[in-house]
Amino acid sequence: MGDARILVVGSTMIDLIAYADRLPEAGETLVGKRFQMGFGGKGANQAVMAARFGAPVAMVNAVGDDSYGASHLENFKREGIDITWMRTVPGSSGVAPIWVDGAGVNRIIIVPGANDATEAAVAEAAVREFKPTIVVGQFEVPQATTLAAFRAARAAGITTLLNPAPAAPIDPELLAHADWVAPNETEFTAIFGGSAIGPDGDERIRSASDRSGNRLVVTLGEQGAALAIPGEPIHRISAPRVKAVDTTGAGDSFLGAFSFGLASGLSPDRAAELAVACASASVQKAGTQSSYLSRDEAAALAAPYLAGGTR
């Protein structure tokens, strides 16, 4: 497994998921089929998936002093995630009301609550003290906090991976401190302009990587992912055909697996192949973290990749 140590500077949410064949129009009330409540938040999801591969993982975040906050800390302990740099602050923990339609497609509103109190100084301390091999961030805690962590990581020669989700204007300094940027199609357009899909998608991804100097891994749902390294041709990783039940958190399972793969010394291609396989498994089950591969399943998936080494 090498020296993989993964630090996630990111969010926690309680996901409140309603499933219905179709979603309501404005002013309409619909009868749903099912409801599921569970642990979510893009940061937490990515941390949990990475931890299930067996790597040491630590989390930097703030939860509220409510029952949701306490249950997040318990969940992280159960998952073997280091919570030294988790803080509890007065107020509400983050929540995410989610709708999932009959095709498994979701719509999400996040209410960040305590996530907004995730502090830059704590993130810097975590980089210094946990000594990760990769630092992973998203957009559900303040960008200034993620930037502080990325600056500390850069200064120490540690790889940084930014998942710019949900789509929002990006601080150019943060982009400049990201070795890897991992947007989906919507986030790619928000940051780099133009579409990552369609006949010219590859060219636009390649040009975005050349212009920005970032390594890109663009997640493309059922079309898999595209990898762009400045100065190199695009690599496409296709996804197996599967029946999607719920796509919630699939991108996060990709990121958890990808960061584990990179931190374990896999080539970017092999890390992305592992990540596509991991995300494909997650869309076939309902819920967010509840849809992720178990520790045993993750170990079985990763074994051939780790045995093959880098290439």
- Token pair 């993989």 is at which residue? 4
Q: 119 vs 140, which CB is nearer to ligand RIB?
A: 140
- Contacting ligand RIB within 120-149 (CB under 6 A): 140
The answer to whether 220 and 188 have CB atoms below 8 angstroms apart is no
CA angle 248, 276, 246 (to 5 degrees): 20
Q: Which is nearer to ligand RIB, 95 or 170 (CB)?
A: 95
Q: Does 248 bind ligand RIB (CB under 6 A)?
A: yes
For position 41 contacting ligand RIB by CB under 6 A, the verdict is yes
Distance in Å, CB of 250 to ligand RIB, minimum: 8
249 binds ligand RIB (CB under 6 A): yes
Q: Distance between CA atoms of 186 and 151, rounded to whole angstroms?
A: 26
Q: Does 40 bind ligand RIB (CB under 6 A)?
A: yes
Shortest Å distance, C-beta 110 to ligand RIB: 5
Whether the ω angle into residue 183 lies within 30 degrees of 0, i.e. cis, is no
Q: Is residue 252 near ligand RIB by the rule CB under 6 A?
A: yes
Residue whose entry in the numeric block shows the structure tokens 């880098």: 310
Contact range with ligand RIB by CB under 6 A, out of 18-26, 191-199, 246-254, 303-311:
246-254
- 15 forms part of the interface with ligand RIB (CB under 6 A): yes
Strands of 86-89's sheet in order across: 86-89, 57-64, 6-9, 134-137, 159-162, 180-181, 215-219, 225-228, 235-237
Near ligand RIB in 72-111, by CB under 6 A:
96, 108, 110
Q: What sign has the CA pseudo-torsion 276, 281, 285, 286?
A: negative
Contact residues toward ligand RIB (CB under 6 A) are: 11, 13, 15, 40-42, 45, 96, 108, 110, 140, 248-249, 251-252, 288
